């Protein structure tokens, strides 16, 4: 029987960061709790904080389940995480800069050539190009899990357009509105500087042809995208335009927005559109979401695209295994945050081990996301395991496997009261001329008892994440 680290209780006592919450929990009768829960849901619905789930029928504009019980970090715990995440974000960017230029890490034999150059996310269009400040991935979302008081593991890196940061901000807003006394009694570090920091980060990577205050825009696929709420929310908070491809055009050396006062030059585009769709002249010709000619302007230094096309090579689950080596190679440091031990099915010995131990492992597709296309061995039936075995044998290079981690749990309000549920954490690291992190992140929680899958598409919810000030 696996025992799970409980974020709040250790050896029958309440851990220090959670002490104030004891009294709060005590003073919360069931009626008040359901009242507050309804209030929170009403707020989410009125503000319009929804996410879309495709292809499953039902309401396409779903509410994200929100749990009112916060997840808390003491300052020293957070410091360590912060350093670890910053270190990782720096190494990932150095890696990207390297593989699109000299490729030293490949020549040194540390990362296999084919994993980089045969990678579907590798973008030949940016080979030999170095973006402003050498930054390819400007917003790095690092998914972390905890297994003990001092044991954190990185599950995966998100170097393209990690989403969910609007939940981090809105969860905090809603908690402050509903439980102001909690914020009076605890010293909780604010996260609301995130949009200011994001704006500053984007401005710091303005292209070399930009003179004066850079104009920033967020590029969205449109109102039907599942993360549209987040796109408009960030545009609002940063005071920048939210544009669609049709609002932009290329003329001469620059990209322009169509405005009521005529064309206006755009210097930095925070795009929430995938590589394949940003420029039909360079990538998918059938796409209407992008801007014809955008890549030419990008490569000639007329506009900065965040994240850079091709940044996806670094958050691949196969490349993930090499991040600790990257940290040693580029920074000459020991990794602060560990990887989860990972077996790569394209290696013969690893494959053998994985096939023999499928029942205990979590197997993931290299390019999968959102909790789809994975096998959680201990939670699967014999038939499911057998079916997955076939898929792995047919295409071993497409799979990696990890041990089932004893994910920490956090008290969570459930139907019958308060019960432990598994959580993970995604902090958002901003990379520009500086590398910064707000004290907090998105805690995702598996609302179903025993479930280890926290993705929103799989019934996961969210919690406010507190970092206590010193």
The least distance separating another protein from the CB of residue 35, rounded to whole angstroms, comes to: 22
Binding-site member from 34, 42, 181, 259 for another protein (CB under 8 A): 259
**β-strand partners of 154:** 144, 339
Contact 130, 167 (CB under 8 A): no
Binding-site member from 190, 263, 368, 459 for another protein (CB under 8 A): 263
Output 37 or 225, the one with its CB closest to another protein: 225
Distances (CA, A) of 215 to 132, 293, 302, 436: 15, 19, 12, 21
Q: Prior bond to 256 cis, omega within 30?
A: no
The least distance separating another protein from the CB of residue 232, rounded to whole angstroms, comes to: 5
Contact 431, 93 (CB under 8 A): yes
235 lies in the binding site for another protein (CB under 8 A): yes
Q: How many CB atoms within 10 Å of residue 188?
A: 23
Binding-site member from 6, 130, 147, 232 for another protein (CB under 8 A): 232
Output 48 or 149, the one with its CB closest to another protein: 48
236 lies in the binding site for another protein (CB under 8 A): yes
260 lies in the binding site for another protein (CB under 8 A): yes
In the block, tokens 């250790």 appear at 10
Interacting residues with another protein between 204 and 223 (CB under 8 A): 222-223
Secondary structure (3-state) at 292? coil
Tell me which residue of 304, 259, 326, 370 sits closest to 138, measured CA to CA: 304
3 lies in the binding site for another protein (CB under 8 A): no
In this chain, which stretch among 197-205, 237-245, 273-281, 304-312 interacts with another protein, using CB under 8 A?
237-245
452: left (phi over 0), alpha (psi -120 to 50) or beta: alpha
Binding-site member from 34, 42, 246, 338 for another protein (CB under 8 A): 246
Residue 283 phi, psi (nearest 5)? -115, -125
Interacting residues with another protein between 32 and 91 (CB under 8 A): 46-48
Output 265 or 367, the one with its CB closest to another protein: 265
Q: Is 262 exposed, middle or buried (0-12, 13-18, 19+ CB in 10 A)?
A: exposed
In this chain, which stretch among 147-155, 252-260, 397-405, 459-467 interacts with another protein, using CB under 8 A?
252-260
Output 258 or 328, the one with its CB closest to another protein: 258
In this chain, which stretch among 13-21, 179-187, 233-241, 406-414 interacts with another protein, using CB under 8 A?
233-241
Q: Which tokens belong to 186?
A: 């605890």
Secondary structure (3-state) at 446? strand
In this chain, which stretch among 201-209, 234-242, 379-387, 396-404 interacts with another protein, using CB under 8 A?
234-242
Tell me which residue of 229, 222, 156 sits closest to 454, measured CA to CA: 156
325 lies in the binding site for another protein (CB under 8 A): no
Which residues in this chain contact another protein in the complex, by CB under 8 A? 46-48, 222-223, 232, 235-236, 241-244, 246-247, 251, 257-263
């Amino acid at each position: 029987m696996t025992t799970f680290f409980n974020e709040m209780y250790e050896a029958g006592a309440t851990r220090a960061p959670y002490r104030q919450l004891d009294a709060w929990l005590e003073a919360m009768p069931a009626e008040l709790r359901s009242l507050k829960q309804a209030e929170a849901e009403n707020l989410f619905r009125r503000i319009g904080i929804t996410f879309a789930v495709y292809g499953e029928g039902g309401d396409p504009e779903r509410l994200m389940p929100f749990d009112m019980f916060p997840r808390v970090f003491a300052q020293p715990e957070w410091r360590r995480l912060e350093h670890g995440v910053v270190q990782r974000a720096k190494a990932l960017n150095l890696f990207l800069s390297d593989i699109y230029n000299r490729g030293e890490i490949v020549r040194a034999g540390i990362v296999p050539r084919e994993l980089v150059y045969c990678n579907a996310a590798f973008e030949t269009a940016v080979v030999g190009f170095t973006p402003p400040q050498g930054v390819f991935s400007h917003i790095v979302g690092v998914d972390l899990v905890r297994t003990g008081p001092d044991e954190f593991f990185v599950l995966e890196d998100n170097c393209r357009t990690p989403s969910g940061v609007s939940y981090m901000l809105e969860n905090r807003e809603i908690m402050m509105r509903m439980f102001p006394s909690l914020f009076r009694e605890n010293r909780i570090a604010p996260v609301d500087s995130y949009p200011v920091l994001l704006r500053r980060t984007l401005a710091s990577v303005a292209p070399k042809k930009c003179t004066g205050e850079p104009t920033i825009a967020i590029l969205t696929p449109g109102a039907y995208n599942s993360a549209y709420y987040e796109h408009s929310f960030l545009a609002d908070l940063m005071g920048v335009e939210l544009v669609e491809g049709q609002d932009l055009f290329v003329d001469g050396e620059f990209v322009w927005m169509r405005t009521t006062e005529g064309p206006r030059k755009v210097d930095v585009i925070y795009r929430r559109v995938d590589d394949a769709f940003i420029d039909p002249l360079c990538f998918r010709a059938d796409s209407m979401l992008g801007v014809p000619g955008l890549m030419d302007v990008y490569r000639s230094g007329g506009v900065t695209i965040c994240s850079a096309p091709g940044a996806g090579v670094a958050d691949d689950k196969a490349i993930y295994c090499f991040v600790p080596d990257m940290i040693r190679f580029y920074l000459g440091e020991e990794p602060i945050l560990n990887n989860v031990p990972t077996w790569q099915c394209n290696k013969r010995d690893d494959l053998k081990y994985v096939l023999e131990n499928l029942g205990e492992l979590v197997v993931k597709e290299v390019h999968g996301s959102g909790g789809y296309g994975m096998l959680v061995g201990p939670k699967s039936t014999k038939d499911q395991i057998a079916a997955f075995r076939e898929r792995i044998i047919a295409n071993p290079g497409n799979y990696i496997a990890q041990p089932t981690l004893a994910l920490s749990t956090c008290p969570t309000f459930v139907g019958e009261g308060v019960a432990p549920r598994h959580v993970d954490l995604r902090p958002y690291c901003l990379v520009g001329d500086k590398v910064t992190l707000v004290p907090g992140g998105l805690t995702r929680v598996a609302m179903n008892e025993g479930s280890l899958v926290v993705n929103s598409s799989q019934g996961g919810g969210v919690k406010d994440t507190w970092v206590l000030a010193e």
